[in-house]
Amino acid sequence: MAAKKKAKNKTRQVRRAVRLRRRFSKMGLKERAWWSWNHDLDSLLHELVKNPELVSLSPVDLVDRAAEFADALHNLLDRRRPPGVKYD
């Protein structure tokens, strides 16, 4: 008989998420906006690098393209946000 697989312990993942949420909630508005923008830029760069068509681009062009997209995304979010909702 095969041994029963041990269930994965998720406490480490939960603690990491709680720690990140606490750190994020203690930030000021400018720090939070800067952290969010950096996270968007990093994730977009990661997706661009995974795209095989963009391998021939220089890193400077990739960063410029990702920054333009992140700025456009945040401008779109600012325009689409309802009047009573504040960005936190």
Q: Determine the Cα–Cα distance for residues 78 and 85; give it in Å rounded to an integer.
A: 10
Q: Give CA separation, 38 vs 2, 6, 35, in Å.
A: 47, 38, 5
How far is 37 from 79, CA to CA, in rounded Å? Answer: 16
- Boundaries of every domain in the chain: 27-88
Q: What is 51-85 written as a DSSP string?
A: -GGGTTS-HHHHHHHHHHHHHHHHHHHHHHS-TTP
Tell me the one-letter amino acid at 85: V
The model's pTM is 0.50
pLDDT at residue 42, as a whole number: 83
User: What is the model's pLDDT at position 2?
Assistant: 65
Contact between residue 35 and residue 24 where contact means Cβ atoms under 8 Å apart? yes
Residue 87's pLDDT band, with cuts at 50, 70 and 90, is low
pLDDT in tens, 53-79: 777 888 888 888 888 888 888 888 888
pLDDT tens digits for range 14-59: 787 788 778 877 878 888 878 887 888 788 778 777 887 777 888 8
